[in-house]
Each structure stands twice: as structure tokens, then as C-alpha cells.
Structure 1
Amino acid sequence: MARSRPALAASILMVFLASSTAPWRHVLAAASDDEKAAAGLVGVDGTQFVVDGGKTIYFSGFNAYWLMLVASDPARRGQVQAAFRQASEHGLNLARTWAFSDGGETPLQSSPGVYDEAMFQGLDFVIAEARRHGIYLLLCLTNNFHDFGGKRQYVAWAREAGHGDLADADDFFNSTVVKGYYKNHVKTVLTRVNTMTGVAYRDDPTILGWELMNEPRCDADPTGAMVQAWVEEMAPYVKTIDGEHLVTAGLEGFYGDGAHESKDLNPWGIYYGTNYVETHRARGVDFATIHLYPDVWLWGSGADTQLEFFQNWTRSHVSDTELYLGKPLLVTEYGKFLWEGVANRTQRNRFLGLVLDSIYASAAEGGPLVGGAFWHLLDPGMDTLRDGYEIILPEDCRAASIIGNHSQQLAELNGQDVEAVRRRRRRSAQHRKVHVGSSLGRSRSSSDTDATQSHLLLVRFISWFRSISSLFSSA
């Protein structure tokens, strides 16, 4: 009788392991243990996120800005539950979403200090559901753009209150009145007690951290000094209210005029009013972020140009983060516009693979790039929220497979001792120097090299084995 394919795959794995040394079997046991979801407040230790007293955690995430808005209607909360369920089934453990809606038709904050309780209860529900599914939240506190209000709405409120000297949305960053409005919003959100869990937001370990603004930019001051001063004021302010959760500025990664800024890498060489290195050095900022949209940022350019940009952009930020910041780095948005047709879907999936491979390569070697979140997740039937970047997991099997496999790879790296990760990173850097013929440093021993290579190879093999087994599980 022919052997079933799952059994054949298992036999291959057993032969593979039988021919290996003890370190392989140790790594297999560790990978199995790491499948258990990490719990507790996330901290930072050097370039790594940590939980449970210093164990590494890596993030495979998604954006879903709409969660609070949809959850504010109890009749639609099933869509939020479905989104979290699908995310969890594909190993996703981080959701980035809005904790703001400034003015407009569906406000969280209808005017300075005035809040809609139904909308707030929608956010309560989102946090409770994320907690139930073991998914961390990165909550953004306002927007650079006019969608959902943002800085333009804050400035409009100030003008309506008699401050007619404010003429531009970028006055958001330096107006004392507007900054007071923003600080009040921060305090209101962070001290909110969840009506469903009874836990104050600032005490809830479900929340990874606070993002000061989505994609801050400043045309009024291309040097980045205005945004820099604002972040230097707001990040410590957040810490005075919530000293436990992490804080990030929300940058896209554009370089400016500060020290160590590779501004020649900016799309078309344009300044966007931010400094990647200097702003992420600000007191109170715990980790760095970048975004990745080569097709939009380099609109009209060819695929080769966009690929070269992606490689240079990622490589530069990983290097700068490690050399000058010593903090973790997340790609908090990445995506490729989905035109009509199968060919473009293939290109989009190839882009997903490139981004996720770069994240895994850094994470596996102990580098600072330790996670990301694609833009953006939708549930089937949410057609009005389609923007060309949406990923609907039940309807896009290939994208779902790419994302799920990546989630599994990162999960198998969870739970490492952070000191061991740092030692491996140092050995890896030293090995690279020796490999290119540098006389500096000392090559690691062959046993250390073999152990590191064995770890990475086995993690990939286990992922492959599980993928093969799942394909034939119904055979």
C-alpha cells in the first residue's frame, strides 16, 4: 500500500533529524514551545521587543483603521470579531488601528474635550476582542492627513475658538492652544476605563503602545525641526500618564537635515519635514517605524527602480536603526496597489514576500527589524472600505498563505533569551567581517557557526514540513 503523504513528510523529517546532532533536537523543542502565544506587557531591550522578563517577541501584523468605527455599531461587531478570528488563524499577533476620530460625521471627539460614548465603547470592544484573540494593539492618537479629522481639524477648532492667527494645518505642531487640545485627548484616551473589561487603557497589556500621529509631515518646515520639537514634547507627556506602555512617533522613515540622515534616499529626493534618526532619538520614543509604498512614492517608475528603492530603503533603515538608535524597528505599513487583473495580484504577492523575507532575515539574525503590519485587512463584504490595498484573507488564498507562513516563522523565533540573541548578532557581524576579508575582529568558532546555521535552517525546514503536511491533511 502506498504511504500517505503526511506520513511520508513525517518520515522525511525523522530521517533529517536522525542525521543531525544534539543542537538540532534542542532547537526543535524550543520551536514547539514558542508556538504558545506570549502574554504580558511588551517592553524593549536594545533592538528587541521583550515579554516575560526578557524573552523575545516578534510581530506579524495588520492595519485595520476601521475597527473602532465599525464596532461603535453593535449590529456590526461581528465583522470585528471575524477580522480578529481570521487574523489569529493566520498567526497575526499585532493590529494597528485608530484611537481617534476628530470631528466629522462619526466622531470619537466631536469638539475639544467632548466625546461620543458609543464610539468609545466601540474602542472598548476592539481592545477586549484583541485581548481575547491574543493580538496586541498599536493605537494611533491622531492623523497628519484630513481623514478622520487629524491636525487640520485641531487647527480648525482653535480658529473657531477665536485664534484666527492660525492659518495652516501645520500650526498643529507649534500652537500652544492646539497642543493643549491634543494633550487633553491623549489623557482622555489613556485614562479611559474599558466598559467591557474594567481595565484602564494605560494598564492593559493588550496594548503594545501609543503612536503619536499617523505619518507626521510638515511642509511648513522641511528641515524637520518643527516635528522634532513636537515629538520631544509629546512623547514624554504620554509617559507622564502611562509610564508602562511603549511610545513611537509614527514616522514613515523619510530623512531630513539632521545628523546621520540619508536624505538622498527619499523618494525623488524630496523633504517631508521629518528626521528619521534624530526624531527617533527623542526622549520617550521607544521604537522606530517606517512605511513602504514604492509604487506610490515612485509613481510612474518601473519595477526595477521600485525594487532597487525597496532594497536601499530597507537596508539603510535597518543599518541606521542599529548604528544610531539601538531600538526595535517595525514596518508599520506596507502595501502595493491592486489594479484589476491576475497579473497585478501576482506582483502584489511578490511584494508581500519581499517585505516579509526582509523582516524575517533581520529577526532571525538578531537584527533590529523585528516585525511589520500590512495595509490593510478587511472582512468579506466590506466593499465600501476597499482602497486598492485591501487583503481579504478568505478570498485571497495566496496572500493568506504568504502571510500565514511568515507568521509561523516569526512565532518560532519567539521566546529566546534576549542576551543570547545579542550574542548571536555580534557573532554574525563578526563573521561577515571575516568573510569579506577584514582583519578586524575574530572569527567565531566553527561550532558556534554551525549552531547558528543549524538553528536558521531547522526553523525553515520545520515551516516547510508543516506547510507540506497541511496541504495533504485531507488526503
Structure 2
Amino acid sequence: MPNLSRRKILLSAISIGAVATATSILGACKKIAKTNPAAFVKRDGLRFTINDKPYRFVGANLWYGAYLGADAAYGDRARLGRELDRMKAIGITNLRVMASAEEGPLKAGIKPGFRTKDGWNETLFDGLDYLMVEIAKRDMKAVLCLTNFWEWSGGVMTYLYYQTGKFTDMNDPEHPWPAFPDHASDFYKNEAAVGMYHDHVRRTVGRKNKITGVDYRDDPAIMAWQLCNEPRPGNSQPVMDKILPDYYAWINSTAKIIREIDGNHLVSLGQEGTKASNGSEQIFIEAHQQIDYLTAHIWPLNWSWVDGKNLGGTWDDGAAKVNDYINTHVRLANQIGKALVFEEFGFPRDGELYDPEIPATFKERFYKMIYAAVEQSMANNGPVVGSNFWAWNGEARTPHADHRFKPGDTQYMGDPPHEPQGWYGVFDSDASMHKIIMQHAKNISAS
């Protein structure tokens, strides 16, 4: 770490409008300066460790963290501090965050983004710097995701647009499912599009935090770099069969680039699990050959395992499918010999309604089911090391009666811009949900 004087650190804090936090930023700098290589999260077979001790976590998704951290009209650093404190208070110590967003023509794409075709948004990168300082202050860890397969943050479809001038919008009536994922998979074979993505990977992984002066590769508050949110090798089987060599090549080349820059942090793929490959276990295994740990996502409503308007009547069948999906990935993790994280799981409120006042009877039951599976694996020295629910809404409330995100909105929720606001997220007022999360945190800390 550079030899930063107290005066220089304080002046840096003042320059970003954070006079009140200057002392704590100095403390974070000192803390990072004292870290040793063992302070990073490492994988030891089926376990994660820090300082050679088991690391297990309760996590949340906070895709919009860098947006709140930005010193801009769309940022809200005071709210970011409140949200991190709320999550820390109920036992959440791990956050999955978007470290990318590509501006383009997709209707649901968030703006501003981290980049356009012509360059990068340094203000948003500065927001990521600020977020990482605040995470470190609270002894939390972050998984930083480097692009998206889906449209809501631009993602790989936008990289294709940058190079070809063509794109497909999700849910376009003229291009119904699975047109979007099949078209998006062209990304893996487009060398120029992948090259632009790799430029973003190098820039982000090789970044130096402007506040602390610490390179990201030397920051123990980062747990892992993630190649993409839910990367699929297409959806139609003929497309998938054709694209798989390029898909594997993209995974392996990106993992290599990250490790060449950063030898301290884990590398993850961000895949949904076998759902991403039409149930193929072999694709899941092959995709994770050069990846440090496994991930699985669980979406009963999105995958038509339950009916949102009849949760009571469809719960049993849906729960059986959830348990089978969990067991499949625990088995695969044992077979491959790598740790497993259930890094996304979500469920709607009663009646598939969106306001925080609506009961969350089945949502609470679903969280208990996931957490029970995590705890069982841990109790049996199994491969599951943690989970991240989708997602933290906190104090945000939609200003729109139709619960839809509109351009210019800054009441960011865990429900991203393409989804109804309040569909899956956990609000600050969800006291019963908080108790479930808190109890799970106590249970795994005692295991």
C-alpha cells in the first residue's frame, strides 16, 4: 500500500464530500495495510477459509451498491450507510454487487452504466470505490460481477450491439422466448465483443481504489470476481450444442485474465446451475473446470414451479422441485470437490403482490427451506458455504402505482429495472423476514 499520510487521506475524504467519514476511512486504510495474504477468502476443497479458519456466510444481493455510492444525482451515500448497517445488524456479511452495466438501446437497461461503447463512467467506478470502503469498515465481503447475460444492466447483448449494431429486446412480441438468450449467446463467438468485455475486466480487476490508494487485487473485502450474472450457452438445444465450445473458451480465457492480474481472490462463474443448460450436469461440470467454486440460483416462480396467484395450492409440488434442485447441486459439488454457494434465491409475497404491507407467508417458508438446507450441509461438513438471497430492497419504495421502474428513478431496489418493484426484494419493514435471516446467521455461526 502507498505511504499515505493522515492529512492526505483526510483531504481525499473531504474532496468526495465525506468529511464526517474521514476518520473511519483512515481506519479502513490502516486495516487494509495490515492485512496479510491469509486474510483473503480461500477455497480449501469443499470449504472456504480466512486465516485458515472456516468462512461461512449469510449474504444478500445488492446489485445497485455502486449506484448508491456514487457522488452524483443518482447516488445516495447516506442511504448506503443505513442499508449496510441494517444488513449487518441482522447478520448479513456478504454482498453480491454489479461492477458493470453497459449502456445501449435495450429498453430495460439501467442508465447510467459503467460504460458506453466509447468509454467508461468514472463517477460510477468512484461509487464502487466508496462502496468497497464502506463494506470493509463493516467487516463484510463482496462478490463483484463483471457483466450480465440479461438485459437489465445492458450485458452481453449490448456488447454484441456495440460490434454488430443489432440487438434483441427481452419480451419483444416479435421475437418471443427463447429469441433473447439464443441471440445473446452469439456474444461468446464474437471476438470483438468478447474483447471489449475483457477490456472492462482488465480495467476493473486492475483498478486502484481512489479513496484508499489500495489496488482492488489487494483488498480483502473482495471475496471473488464473477464473470457474469447467469451466463447461459443459449437456450434452444441446437443453439446450445453449437455454441458450447465458444462458451467454454470464454469462461477459461476470462478466468485466466483475472488470475494474471489478481492472484488473491476467488473466481466464480455466476451460473444458475443445471437450469442454465437444460438440465445437463455435464455442461455444469465442464463449465466449472477453471472456476474456484460452484453457484446455483433458485427461482420457483420464474421457472413455473409454483403459481404466484395460487401459492398455497402449488407449494408442495414447487417445494419438492426446490429440494431436488438443491440436492442435485450438493451432489455435484461433492462429485467435483468444490464449495457451493446458493447465491440467488427469490420468492414473491402472498398473491404475487408487491407492496411491503402484503404478507410474505410463503416467502418466509421458502427462505426457511433454503436456510435449512444450507445448515444441514454445514452440519454434515458438506459443500455449501453460504447463500445470498435476492435481494435487499431496504428503505426504497416505488413512487409509481404500477410498481414499474421508470427512467430517472433513483429509488433502487433489489428488484432490477425490468421487474415489478417489490416483486422479490426484502424491505426494511419485513420484521419477520429479518428474524429468519438473523436466526440463520446465529445457527451457522454456532455450527
Task: Indicate the TM-score class for this superposition, using the shorter chain for normalisation.
Answer: 0.7 to 0.9
> 1:203 is matched by which residue type in structure 2?
D
Question: 2: CA distance between counterparts of 1:111 and 1:72?
Answer: 21
- SS of the residue corresponding to residue 321 of structure 2 reads helix
Deviations 1:249-305 (A, max 9, x none): 111012688xxxxx6xx4xxxx7x99222211x22x100000011122125552121
Written as runs of structure 1 = structure 2, the 5 A alignment for 1:24-63 is 40-52=39-51, 54-63=52-61
1-structure distance, mates of 2:207, 2:68: 19
Mapping for residues 344-355 of structure 1, pairs under 5 Å: 345-355=360-370
Instruction: Measure, in 2, the Cα distance between the counterparts of 1:185 and 1:149.
Output: 14
Q: Secondary structure at the match of 2:301?
A: helix
Structure 1 counterpart SS, 2:342: strand
Q: Is 1:115 matched up with 2:88?
A: no
Shift in Å, 1:411: 2.1
C-alpha displacement of 1:222: 2.2
- Structure 1 residue 344: Cα displacement: 5.5
Matched AA of 1:366: N
Deviation at 1:168, TM superposition (A): 3.6
Give runs of aligned pairs for residues 206-355 of structure 1, distance below 5 A.
206-217=221-232, 218-219=234-235, 221-223=239-241, 224-254=244-274, 266=279, 275-280=283-288, 282-283=289-290, 285-299=291-305, 302-323=314-335, 325-338=336-349, 339-340=352-353, 345-355=360-370
CA positional deviation for 1:219:
3.1
Corresponding residue of 1:86: 86
Aligned residue number for residue 12 of structure 1 = none
Superposition deviation, residue 78 in structure 1: 1.1
Distance of aligned partners of 1:207 and 1:148 in 2 relative to their CA distance in 1, 3 Å threshold:
same
TM-score normalised over the length of structure 1: 0.70
Corresponding letter in the other structure for 1:294: P
Kindly state the Cα deviation for residue 93 of structure 1 after the two structures are TM-superposed: 0.9
- 8 Å contact 2:60–2:391 — kept in the other structure? yes
Gaps of 5+ in 1: 1-38, 162-166, 258-262, 414-475
Structure 2 Cα separation of the partners of residues 200 and 403 of structure 1: 33
CA distance, structure 2, for counterparts of residue 343 and residue 353 of structure 1:
19
2:65 corresponding residue in structure 1: 67
Deviations 1:346-373 (A, max 9, x none): 1110100000110011012110011100
Q: Is the 8 A contact 1:68 1:123 kept in 2?
A: yes
TM-superposition CA deviations, 1:154-198 (whole Å, max 9, x none):
01111259xxxxx94322111111111111100000111111111
Query: Is 1:101 matched up with 2:101?
Result: yes
| Offset from partner CA, 1:115-142 (integer Å, 9 cap, x none) | 1111111101111110011110001000
Q: Does the 8 Å contact 2:306/2:317 carry over to 1?
A: no
Unaligned runs of 5+ in 2: 1-37, 105-110, 167-181, 308-313, 399-410, 414-420
How far apart in 1 are the matches of 2:296 and 2:226?
12
Contact 1:255 1:274 in 2 (8 A): no
Residue aligning to 1:164? none
CA separation in 2, counterparts of 1:288 and 1:358?
16
Pairwise CA distance, 1:200: 1.1
Asked if the contact 2:231/2:276 (under 8 Å) is kept, the reply is: no
Q: Taking every aligned residue pair, what percent have the same amino acid on both sides? A: 28
The structure with the largest helix share of the pair is 1
AA aligned opposite 1:227 = Y
Q: Measure the CA separation in 1 of the matches of 2:123 and 2:68.
A: 11
Paired residue for 2:408? none
Compute the TM-score of the two structures, normalised by the length of structure 2.
0.74
8 Å Cα contact 2:305-2:317 kept in structure 1 = no
1:50-84 per-residue CA deviation (whole Å, 9 max, x = no partner) reads 110x2101010000111112221456111111111
Superposed CA RMSD in Å reads: 2.3
Distance 1:151 1:47 in 2: 31
Using the alignment, how far apart are the partners of 2:444 and 2:123 within structure 1? Answer: 37
Matched position secondary structure for 1:134: coil
**1:407 is aligned to 2:441:** yes
Secondary structure, in 3 states, of the residue corresponding to 2:387?
strand
How many Å separate the matches in 2 of 1:381 and 1:235?
35
Partner of 2:156: 151
In the other structure, the counterpart of 2:172 is: none
Structure whose CA Rg is larger = 1
Q: Is the 8 A contact 1:58 1:410 kept in 2?
A: yes
Partner of 2:138: 133
Secondary structure in 2 aligned to 1:311? Answer: helix
Aligned pair count?
352
Q: Post-superposition shift, 1:226?
A: 3.6
Q: In the superposition, relative to structure 1, how do residues 290 and 41 fare at CA in structure 2: closer, same or farther (>3 Å)?
A: same
Partner of 1:420: none
Q: What secondary structure is seen at the aligned counterpart in 2 of 1:147?
A: helix
Query: Corresponding residue for 1:185?
Result: 200
* CA distance in structure 1 between the partners assigned to 2:223 and 2:67 by the alignment: 20
**Structure 1 position 198 matched with structure 2 position 216:** no
SS across alignment from 2:426: coil
- Report the CA distance shift for 1:382/1:70 in structure 2 as closer, same or farther (over 3 A): farther
